[in-house]
Amino acid sequence: MTTFTSDFWNTQKYVFICSFRLDSTCQANLISQALFCFGFVVLCIFFTKKALPNQTSLDLFKDVAKGFPVQILEEHTAPVSECNLTPDGRRVVTSSYDNTVKTWDMETGKVLWTIEHEGIVTSCNISRDGKYVVSGSDKDNAISVFDAVSATEVACVQGHHRSAITRCCFDPGNQRVTSVSYDKTIKLWDMVARSTSITIKEGHSNAISDCCFTSDGRYLCTASWDKSLKIWDIKTGEFQSRGPVTLSQGHEGSVSSCCFSQDGELSQ
């Protein structure tokens, strides 16, 4: 029997805590993402079903304390590219290769709304105030912003990058949308001015895979296939004269993701 695992480690002592296993009865072929639902003792595990006719990808929620499924969500028809929880932990937003973005009710497991895109949706994110959802699509390399409640489109920027967008996210102040791409560029789009306020060309020497902000919004971290992480002082603009801080000693291969600790003292 084939099993796929999601493991947990104590970050204070760096010791293994537990492992959840998905056996072959789940028809899973990989686990794509895992994250905690803040305020609840629930882990969200997103995995993809085997490529079988009429089989959908699954979103599985597990109770971390007890280790059993709480909700199984089966509305996406292709791999889930990303998931994000609302600030109150009551909804989860997902994007998928089935060209949709969906918002789910965490308690009932029901889909609240679905937004159809013309191409694969590579990334999604919800603003910290819970008001807006942004998505990145490979169709016209566009970013789109939607009202998180009504799902109405607020803005759509086509041709935002020269190649597919790998990650898009709001800054902590909900004022700008940052996006990174296979085209090696970093862009910050202003929600108020409805225009691009910062463009960093050739931010890395290879595709940029991920980006994230410190909780105060001062620093932006980018991860790349060039095996490095870069820290950009966005708030002061210091990077424009001194360049970013480059972290290139930690990985021997492409860096797929990055995340700051809550206090902003560490990145990974």
The percent of residues in the chain predicted with pLDDT above 70, rounded, is: 71
CB contact at 8 A, 103 and 149: no
Q: What is the pLDDT of residue 40?
A: 45
Residue 230 in domain: no
- Owning domain of residue 40: 1-74
CB contact at 8 A, 117 and 144: yes
Residue 24 in domain: yes
Q: What confidence tens digit (pLDDT) does each residue in 121-166 have?
A: 999 999 999 999 999 999 999 999 999 999 999 999 999 999 999 9
Q: Are strands 153-157 and 245-247 parallel, antiparallel or unpaired?
A: unpaired
Q: What confidence tens digit (pLDDT) does each residue in 225-261 have?
A: 999 999 999 988 888 888 899 888 778 889 888 888 7
Residue 84 in domain: no
Helices (H), the chain: 239-242
Residue 235 in domain: no
Residue 37 in domain: yes
Residue 199 in domain: no
Residue 1 in domain: yes
- Residue 31 tokens read as 């686990």
Residue 97 in domain: no
Q: Strand locations in 98-152, DSSP E? A: 100-105, 111-116, 121-126, 132-137, 142-147
Q: What is the pLDDT of residue 122?
A: 95
Q: What confidence tens digit (pLDDT) does each residue in 18-77 have?
A: 445 555 545 445 555 556 554 444 455 555 544 444 444 444 555 656 666 667 778 888
Tell me the backbone φ, ψ of residue 25, rounded to 5 degrees.
-70, -20
Rounded mean pLDDT of 103-114? 91
Please determine, for residue 187, whether its predicted confidence score (pLDDT) is greater than 70. yes
Q: What counts of helices (H) and strands (E) characterise the chain?
A: 1, 22
What is the spatial distance between Cα 72 and Cα 62, in angstroms, rounded to a whole number?
Answer: 9
What is the spatial distance between Cα 199 and Cα 220, in angstroms, rounded to a whole number?
Answer: 13
Please determine, for residue 92, whether its predicted confidence score (pLDDT) is greater than 70. yes
Adjacent-strand bridge partners of 43: 36, 62
What is the spatial distance between Cα 260 and Cα 266, in angstroms, rounded to a whole number?
Answer: 6
Q: What is the pLDDT of residue 183?
A: 97
Count CB atoms within 10 A of the CB of residue 203: 23
> pTM of the prediction?
0.81
Q: What is the pLDDT of residue 46?
A: 52
Give me the number of domains the chain comprises: 1
Count CB atoms within 10 A of the CB of residue 152: 9
